[in-house]
Amino acid sequence: MKKYDLVILGHGAAAFAAAINANDLGVKTAMVGTNVTRGTLTGGTCVNVGCLPSKHLITVSNLFYHAANNSFEGIKYGKGKLNFKKVIEQKDKLVKKFRNEKYINVLKDLENVAYYNKKGRFVSKNEIVADNEKILGKKFFIGTGAKSDIIPIKGIEKVEYLTNEEVLSLKELPKSMVVIGGRALGLEFAQMYAHFGTKVTVLQRSDRIIPESEPEISDALKVYLKEEGINIHTGASINSVSKKGKNKIVNINVGNKSFDIEAKQLLLAAGRKPNTENLGLDKVGVKTDEKGFIIVNDEMQTSAKHVLAGGDVVGNPMLETLAAKEGSIAVENAFTKNKRKINFNEIPSAIFTYPEVASVGLTDKEAIEKGIKCRCGIVPFSLVPKAHIIGDTRGIIKIVANQKIRQILGVHILSPHAADLIHEGVLAVKLKLTVDDIIDTVHVFPTLSEAMKIAAQSFYRDVSKMSCCVE
């Protein structure tokens, strides 16, 4: 029986960040690659079946689509040829490369970390079993991640469906697809396959897609996606799914109408659930919420004081970089006198549709709910010169600021490269900058990042009647 100062359950972003920090601190550590998802390997969701392969395929699909659908006069490529099998093969090579370079090879340099590529579970307060091997630990970190939640739908058990794992590795491009879920995951896959040539229908239960986003952004993105030929039904309640030959039939209600949608493939993208089953959490006294997510305090400590947790297994927001931060902070708090906490208001998020959606901080609704009198600066990207240069003026930037002192409380962007542009907003929120600070900052012309400055200037002037580069 081997003994360790720290035992980590999981081998994704949170677990690796915890292991690296533990190694740097000289903590004798075991990482047990607990894995209860379908097909996820060392490295967890992001590198294998999440952000890395999906964003690669999104990039390829955007290039394929926009080559034939660009706005530049005099350049017409026509519809290109797509070898979908080769696209998937290249994605697989990229995943293997990053899994080896960023995870498997990293383990080799962690001299204080022993890796067990086995499934582990608690059998007592300080003991886990990895397959048949017993491992003792003084402290534990749980970073086992999450997987697709299979929502209860009548007939779903009789129909073949896809999750985020399978949809990334289809052998051939489907002619049609129904996507259940109109948030980040569902919309990214919907547009990606639509750009490749699949006829896509999105079903969203709420009245808006990405309902947590600013209404202006949600409504605009819906228009853009529909203009590209994606069918979107909001306020849709799903009655049942069934088979018709090799096709899937989804029966839905929208308003007072009930009708069927038929497609070759069905993708379930309506939420995630934690990988906490069969971990033996009851043996160690770790409490979970009604959905199974591990409950932690603001120092990443669970109800069992010697057990910490982080990443997707503790719930929203489920972001790879946040998972890594939580894993690192958890270990630091456990083995040093530091008691670090995360300000979730400073954590940015992004949706990699085209145009992209990116946000940080409060929405105006959230600000009002907190009793803050706020004012918003909203600017369309048609007022950003660089948007005209690149031939795509679609988009909106919205700054939410304290009405009195003009402190920036939130920034929300819909535009090409929004995921890159949001970081000026992140710093603005983190450092408590005002719109005047942004106005006083010289921006490169012409750039899309000028949108931030123009939105700040909209608090004081009519920016539609302003020349370029005015302070």
Over residues 180-193, the pLDDT tens digits come to 999 999 999 999 99
Residue 290 has pLDDT above 70, yes or no: yes
Q: Measured at the alpha carbon of residue 407, what is the angle toward residues 405 and 411, in degrees to the nearest 5? A: 145
Q: Tell me the pLDDT tens digit for each residue of 137-178.
A: 999 999 999 999 999 999 999 999 999 999 999 999 999 999
What amino acid is encoded at 63 in this protein?
L
- Number of independent structural domains in the chain: 3
Q: Is the domain of 407 the same as that of 385?
A: yes
Q: How far apart are CA 3 and CA 395, in angstroms?
A: 55
Residue 39 has pLDDT above 80, yes or no: no
- pLDDT band for 1, please (50, 70, 90 cuts): confident
DSSP three-state, residue 7? strand
Mark out the alpha helices in 6-134 (DSSP H runs). 13-24, 44-49, 51-68, 84-99, 105-108
In-domain check, residue 98 = yes
Burial of 72 (0-12, 13-18, 19+ CB in 10 A): exposed
Q: Is the domain of 361 the same as that of 448?
A: yes
Residue 18 has pLDDT above 80, yes or no: yes
Other CB atoms within a 10 A radius of the CB of residue 197 amount to: 16
Q: Is the domain of 320 the same as that of 420?
A: no
Q: How far apart are CA 245 and CA 387, in angstroms?
A: 47
Mark out the alpha helices in 273-406 (DSSP H runs). 281-284, 320-335, 364-369, 385-389
What local confidence, expressed as pLDDT, does residue 281 receive?
A: 97
User: Is the bond preceding 355 in cis, omega lying within 30 degrees of 0?
Assistant: yes
What local confidence, expressed as pLDDT, does residue 35 receive?
A: 58
Would you put residue 328 in left (φ > 0), alpha (ψ -120 to 50) or beta? alpha
Per DSSP bridges, beta strands 199-204 and 127-130 are: unpaired
Q: Is the domain of 368 the same as that of 459?
A: yes
- pLDDT band for 40, please (50, 70, 90 cuts): low
Q: Which residue has the higher pLDDT, 46 or 333?
A: 333
What local confidence, expressed as pLDDT, does residue 73 receive?
A: 87
Comparing CA positions, the residue from 235, 55, 240 lying closest to residue 159 is 240
Q: How far apart are CA 131 and CA 116, in angstroms?
A: 10
Segment among 38-42, 105-109, 130-134, 215-219 with least mean pLDDT: 38-42
C-beta of residue 208 within 8 angstroms of C-beta of residue 215: yes
Q: How far apart are CA 84 and CA 174, in angstroms?
A: 10
- Give the whole-number percent of the chain exceeding pLDDT 70: 99
Residue 36 has pLDDT above 70, yes or no: no
Q: CA end-to-end span of the chain, whole Å? A: 68
Q: How far apart are CA 142 and CA 7, in angstroms?
A: 9
Q: Is the domain of 87 the same as that of 21?
A: yes
Average pLDDT over residues 25-49: 81
Check which CATH number belongs to the domain holding 454 and give it. 3.30.390.30
In-domain check, residue 469 = no
What local confidence, expressed as pLDDT, does residue 37 receive?
A: 52
Average pLDDT over residues 128-133: 90
Q: Is the domain of 216 the same as that of 278?
A: no
Q: Tell me the pLDDT tens digit for each residue of 167-224.
A: 999 999 999 999 999 999 999 999 999 999 999 999 999 999 999 999 999 999 999 9
Q: Tell me the pLDDT tens digit for each residue of 382-439.
A: 999 999 999 999 999 999 999 999 999 999 999 999 999 999 999 999 999 999 999 9
Average pLDDT over residues 339-346: 95
Q: How far apart are CA 67 and CA 297, in angstroms?
A: 49
Q: How far apart are CA 164 and CA 180, in angstroms?
A: 12
Q: Is the domain of 281 the same as that of 337?
A: yes
Per DSSP bridges, beta strands 374-380 and 146-148 are: unpaired
Q: Which residues are bridge partners to 358 per DSSP? A: 350, 413
Check which CATH number belongs to the domain holding 176 and give it. 3.50.50.60
The residue from 342, 374, 402 where one domain ends is: 342
What local confidence, expressed as pLDDT, does residue 132 receive?
A: 86
13-24 and 320-335 helices cross at what angle (nearest 10)?
30
In-domain check, residue 471 = no
Computed over every residue of the chain, the mean pLDDT equals 95
- pLDDT band for 42, please (50, 70, 90 cuts): confident
Q: Is the domain of 160 the same as that of 258?
A: yes
Residue 79 has pLDDT above 90, yes or no: no
In-domain check, residue 448 = yes
Q: Is the domain of 141 the same as that of 283?
A: yes
- pLDDT band for 227, please (50, 70, 90 cuts): very high
Q: Determine the structural domain holding residue 178 and report its residue range.
A: 156-270
In-domain check, residue 470 = no
What local confidence, expressed as pLDDT, does residue 438 receive?
A: 98
Q: Tell me the pLDDT tens digit for each residue of 232-264.
A: 999 999 999 999 999 999 999 999 999 999 999
DSSP readout, 353-382? SSSEEEEEE--HHHHHHTT--EEEEEEEGG
- The full 3-state SS of 123-180, as one line of letters, equals EECCEEEECCEEEEEEEEEECCCEEECCCCCECHHHCCCECCCHHHHCCCCCCEEEEE
The residue from 270, 293, 314 where one domain ends is: 270
Q: Tell me the pLDDT tens digit for each residue of 345-368.
A: 999 999 999 999 999 999 999 999
Residue with tokens 């390829």: 60
Q: Is the domain of 83 the same as that of 227?
A: no
Residue 470 has pLDDT above 90, yes or no: no
In-domain check, residue 60 = yes
C-beta of residue 145 within 8 angstroms of C-beta of residue 320: no
Per DSSP bridges, beta strands 257-263 and 120-124 are: unpaired
Q: How far apart are CA 275 and CA 264, in angstroms?
A: 29
Q: Is the domain of 232 the same as that of 309?
A: no
